[in-house]
Amino acid sequence: MARSLLIIEDEPMLGQELSRHFDGAGWRVLLVDTYRAARSELFDRGLIPLVVLSDMSLPDGNALDLLEEVQKEQQTSGEWVFLTGYGSVADSVRALRLGAYDFLEKPVDFDRLDLVIKGAARSATAQRRLQDQLAAGSSQFTPEGFVGKSDVASQLREMLGRLAKAPFSTLIITGETGTGKGVVARILHHSGLRNDAPLVEVNCSALPKDLLESELFGHEAGAFTGAKKRRRGLFEQADGGTLFLDEIGEMSLDLQAKLLKVIEDQSFRRVGGDREIRVDVQVIAATNCDLAARVDDGSFRADLYHRLYVFNLQVPTLRERIQDLDDLVPLFVAEFNTKAGKSVSTIGAEAWKKLKAHTWPGNVRELRNVIERCVLFADGRELPLQWLQLQPARLTPRNGDDAMRNGNGIIDLQEAGQYVRLPLDGSMGLEAMDRFIINAALERNQYNVTATAQMLNTTRDTLRYRIRKYEIILPEDE
């Protein structure tokens, strides 16, 4: 597609020469010769060129005034390059202050002009792409984007709306895996006070400690083996915006100390650097673990814990808002219809019954995966029941002496004739399995922690820690 170039030049011969040159280079060129004509194109006809190449002094005005007017009236504008035969220092300073891409003197060197215009085009394209992404995020990630009519969903939407107007420095989002903590973080950013600045995300559990430190703070050339050049870290990339730290409970203690310093001082040093770099970053953290229990066992810093807990936003599990399936399921069906070119439009009564009877240990992520599978394998307009493949975890008696795996991917763990049946189809995460086993064993032992610890071949303290971690309520706590 041809790129658009507006040329504003009152010298007829130079204007025609510039027009022919850039038309031959593949630009879609519009040539005007007055301030008034350029203003008419930009405002009356809604022209938004990728690049504007303009003479500074026009017969009926100064092109810098036009640039200033465009910036006030239009959210999207291209890069401006100015030409002048007798530029003053004051004009040069004003051009730079207004954000002009470059300022060239006549007579113009066409080779240099080509390089400048190409650079201006790259810059304008990058800016437009960023503006489009920000606009898409602002329209998609609003408080209303947390779908559901349940009380807990409505309460969360209301809180998101209030937080979006608050200039908070830190916030933590808690909830089980798959509940939508990442979506909540994006809503807070894109509907908040920093929505015109970057949102930078990192999963703290996906990177080893040394690499995570370099990712967060950047590094200088030669800081370590393989560091061949300086690298800006995520804090620098998020300057003015938001840094989302997912799974922050997995961060090492020494890195936690450095993170606390950045949050408190809004400054840091790159790895291998000796210069303090100041930033203005809003930090949103998320975790699916009990950080209070991590503080108790010494694996998470108490001072960082209290600094993050300026506000704790708890994302409800899907089993707490089963009625929201009425909104979520059609939403996911429509999404995957579009992606897969399918036309599923009917969900049968038996399918709804199974969907609403399931405990959804993987929460909304599990639901999304289930609907994707069903839509992909659908042959007609009805959601295929056989591809739901929901395996609710439950205690079932079973004869036999050994733990055994059946053809449906279920592991049965024997204990005195009782089995815990767990799905191995990816719908249940490791922590959800752990929690279920502990809960089942506690029920079997009438919530006697000592007896349960003996049954599970662990210590009482370890079991107590996991009970706190998974927020299992014992009768004595009620």
Say which residues have a Cβ less than 8 Å from residue 337's Cβ, sequence separation at least 6: 343, 344, 375
SS (H, E, C) 216-285: HHCECCCCCCCCCCCECCHHHHCCCCEEEEECHHHCCHHHHHHHHHHHHHCEECCECCCCCEECCCEEEE
Our measurement of the distance from residue 173's CA atom to the centroid of its chain's CA atoms, rounded to an integer in Å, reads 14
> What whole-number distance in Å separates Cα of residue 175 and Cα of residue 429?
14
Confidence at residue 330, expressed as pLDDT on a 0 to 100 scale: 94
CATH code (residue 431): 1.10.10
Strand partners, 61: 58
Residues 123 and 158 in one domain: no
Residues 240 and 297 in one domain: yes
Residues 133 and 44 in one domain: yes
CATH code (residue 298): 3.40.50.300
Which of 75, 109, 137 is a domain's end point? 137
CATH code (residue 355): 1.10.8.60
Residues 332 and 350 in one domain: yes
Contact criterion met (CB below 8 Å) for 470 and 434: yes
CB-side exposure of 446: number of CA atoms within 13 Å?
Answer: 0
Residues 324 and 406 in one domain: no
Residues 301 and 376 in one domain: no
Residues 152 and 191 in one domain: yes
Longest CA span, the chain: 97
Confidence at residue 391, expressed as pLDDT on a 0 to 100 scale: 61
Q: pTM surpassing 0.85? A: no
Residues 285 and 337 in one domain: no
Confidence at residue 331, expressed as pLDDT on a 0 to 100 scale: 93
> What whole-number distance in Å separates Cα of residue 131 and Cα of residue 75?
9
Which of 314, 349, 366 is a domain's end point? 314
Residues 111 and 198 in one domain: no
Q: How many CB atoms lie within 10 A of CB 303?
A: 12
Determine the 3-state secondary structure of 367 from DSSP.
helix
The burial of 112, by beta-carbon neighbours within 10 Å (0-12 exposed, 13-18 middle, 19 or more buried), is given as exposed
Residues 173 and 243 in one domain: yes
Our measurement of the distance from residue 362's CA atom to the centroid of its chain's CA atoms, rounded to an integer in Å, reads 20
Question: In terms of residue numbers, what domain contains 244?
Answer: 142-314
Cα torsion angle, 106, 112, 117, 123, sign: negative
Contact criterion met (CB below 8 Å) for 250 and 242: no
Residues 175 and 224 in one domain: yes
| pLDDT under 70: residue ranges of the chain | 1-2, 74-77, 86-89, 130-139, 391-419, 425-427, 476-478
Q: How many domains does the chain have?
A: 4
Confidence at residue 398, expressed as pLDDT on a 0 to 100 scale: 35
Which of 115, 137, 159 is a domain's end point? 137
> What whole-number distance in Å separates Cα of residue 326 and Cα of residue 324?
5
Contact criterion met (CB below 8 Å) for 452 and 418: no
Residues 158 and 269 in one domain: yes
Burial 205-243 (b: 16+ CB within 10 A, else e): eebeeeebbbbbbbbbeebeeebeeebebbbbebbebbb
> What whole-number distance in Å separates Cα of residue 49 and Cα of residue 331?
38
